[in-house]
Structure 1
Amino acid sequence: MIIRILGEGQYDVTDAHLDELNKPDSALQSAADADDEAAFHTALNALLDTVRRLGTPLPDEAITPSGLVLPEQDASLTDVQALLSDEGLIPG
């Protein structure tokens, strides 16, 4: 699956890592639901760091549709709350 981090680039992450991505995504959802700004930023950073760690960066010149789009690291809680579904940012 191709995951885009806005303002940064795309990463190819295998579907086998979905469970590992869902852990920080669940923490992000919980923090957003609680309007906990500090926990939100910690969870967002953890989610983006997990994508960077597990994924292979795609070259900037590669034009590939993204299966998931994640907010940039400095996104606000309010902006991300508007993007969240019942499953968080990562479905599954």
Structure 2
Amino acid sequence: MSDFLRPITNAMRSQFLTTRAAARHMTARGAGVVLAFGGGPVDSTHPALLLRTATLSDVGATAAFAASDKARTITSTDIDISCGAIVN
């Protein structure tokens, strides 16, 4: 069981410590955004619906949007940029 829990515990601890450190700066500024990137399983028998994969530019543009004032009404959500490889 400990082998199973170790990567989960490490990921959650890293996320918590990073967010806590960022929150100190965000509190002082009166604003801020925390972005967390992750992945999920991809069904290799089901190709991406857009027939391509996301580029680093795609990821950067999505992150810039999510952290911008244009996304100020978006809270606690996932933005799927898998090009359709992960179907929700």
Tell me the TM-score normalized by structure 2.
Answer: 0.28
Question: Which one scores higher on RCO, CA 8 angstroms, separation ≥ 6?
Answer: 1
User: Larger % of strand: which?
Assistant: 1
User: Which has the larger Rg?
Assistant: 2
